[in-house]
């Protein structure tokens, strides 16, 4: 039974698809919880994550995404790519029975399981150890920050399987590492280790595996030490900085600062 302040967390639905969500003050920790399948992912999880993101109250200031066990995520449950699929889940073969609009709409819903992590209302942190393959890499890319254990191996495996990365991972990858390196990483489907990830700017920090939780906790504490409203406005500003021209971005800065001045003076 959920307490009133966590009633928005549908624990039964999440556990039914191999997920957990634990709220501790202003921090929501989302755990991929299928270690026996190396936290491979399913559409049921993506729907549940999208709905969880849509129901998040303003009190949540940081979301940590992690995987149970030694592997962050081995990507899509590869059985979904074969004819037998996974009971209760959409397989690619099921999907292909629909028309193109149905397929496009379904992938859009899958992507929402990732894009909610960019919501400026909170800062999202991927805590990564072991493999982060395909959808696992894209889930880590959906987060604002990545704290990475030294055994981490990222891999955009999709092109090796005849697919493209379609879970909203291409944009953050290019923004983080640049077009050429992103293409090389995707087109070769090679592994990117933790040290290279730090060098490329993919990893916010790289630490020994034993220190991963403590380092994430320190980062979360530091994020919470700043003013909540200022962090939200700043995240939104930084998100638009890459695509807007200087004039439009300056306008956004002025508008955001006006809101901050109003909020601070109202508080004084």
Residues that bind ligand ACO (CB under 6 A): 37-38, 40, 71, 74-79, 131, 133-135, 157-158, 161, 163
Least distance (Å) between residue 205 CB and ligand ACO = 23
Determine how β-strand 27-32 pairs with β-strand 62-67. parallel
C-beta closer to ligand ACO: residue 158 or 196: 158
Distance of CA 259 to the CA centre of its chain: 28
Least distance (Å) between residue 180 CB and ligand ACO = 22
Residues 249, 268: Cα–Cα separation, whole Å: 28
Closest residue to bound ligand ACO by CB:
134
C-beta closer to ligand ACO: residue 77 or 233: 77
C-beta closer to ligand ACO: residue 33 or 158: 158
Residues 137, 72: Cα–Cα separation, whole Å: 9
C-beta closer to ligand ACO: residue 129 or 232: 129
Least distance (Å) between residue 118 CB and ligand ACO = 20
Residues 250, 268: Cα–Cα separation, whole Å: 27
Query: For 89, which DSSP code?
Result: S
Three-state secondary structure call for residue 56? coil
Three-state secondary structure call for residue 69? coil
Least distance (Å) between residue 3 CB and ligand ACO = 35
């Amino acid at each position: 039974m959920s307490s009133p302040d966590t009633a928005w967390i549908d624990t039964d639905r999440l556990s039914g698809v191999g997920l957990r969500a634990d709220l501790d003050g202003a921090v929501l920790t989302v755990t991929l919880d299928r270690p026996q399948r190396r936290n491979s992912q399913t559409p049921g999880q993506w729907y549940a994550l999208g709905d969880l993101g849509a129901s998040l109250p303003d009190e949540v200031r940081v979301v940590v995404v992690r995987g149970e066990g030694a592997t962050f995520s081995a990507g899509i449950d590869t059985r979904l790519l074969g004819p037998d699929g996974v009971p209760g889940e959409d397989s690619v073969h099921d999907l292909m029975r629909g028309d193109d609009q149905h397929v496009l709409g379904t992938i859009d819903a899958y992507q929402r399981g990732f894009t909610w992590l960019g919501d400026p209302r909170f800062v999202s942190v991927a805590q990564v150890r072991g493999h982060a393959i395909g959808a696992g890499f894209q889930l880590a890319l959906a987060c604002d920050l990545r704290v990475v254990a030294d055994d981490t191996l990222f891999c955009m495996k999709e092109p090796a399987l005849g697919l493209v990365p379609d879970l909203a991972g291409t944009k953050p990858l290019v923004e983080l590492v640049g077009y050429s390196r992103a293409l090389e990483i995707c087109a070769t489907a090679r592994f990117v280790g933790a040290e290279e990830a730090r060098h490329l700017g993919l990893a916010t920090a790289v630490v020994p595996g034993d220190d991963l939780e403590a380092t994430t906790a320190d980062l979360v504490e530091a994020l919470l030490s700043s003013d909540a409203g200022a962090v939200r406005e700043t995240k939104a500003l930084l998100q638009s900085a890459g695509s807007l021209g200087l004039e439009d971005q300056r306008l956004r800065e002025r508008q955001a600062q006006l809101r901050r001045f109003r909020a601070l003076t109202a508080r004084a």
